[in-house]
Amino acid sequence: MNNPLITAEEREQLLANGRARATGQSIDPLPVVRLFTPDAHVTWLLAFLDPEDGDTACGLIDLGIGMPDMGTVQLSALASIVGPRKQPVMRDRCFQAARPLSDYVRLAQENGSITD
């Protein structure tokens, strides 16, 4: 499945993390990709992709309402979302994870939003 929100390399890393998780491995990977809405303050730090459907991603979701948490989202759904100014979801091309996903979750919950 081709998705403009993630690169082929990102897709492979997300799937590898998803496969490890699906087989019961306890892993705390670095987030692979940061997606965001430039006009609605919503951010997704994705770390896993379901190997069964190749579309359900899991990671830290910040809806901009002060309660970031782990969750899932379909990449196909993200590709059709636009914000209030009709701007689509975008991939942060400069994002490089600095810490494991659990640290991003803890910091975001402490601060009420993803801080970096």
Cα separation, 16 vs 12, in Å, equals 6
Pairing of strands 43-49, 56-62: antiparallel
Domain ranges of the chain: 8-111
pLDDT at 3: 59
Adjacent-strand bridge partners of 60: 45, 70
114 CB-near residues (< 8 Å, 6+ apart): 43, 45, 60, 62, 68, 104, 107, 108
pTM: 0.92
Chunk the chain into consecutive blocks of 10 residues (it has 116) and report each block's average pLDDT, rounded to whole numbers.
Answer: 80 97 94 93 96 96 95 94 89 95 96 89
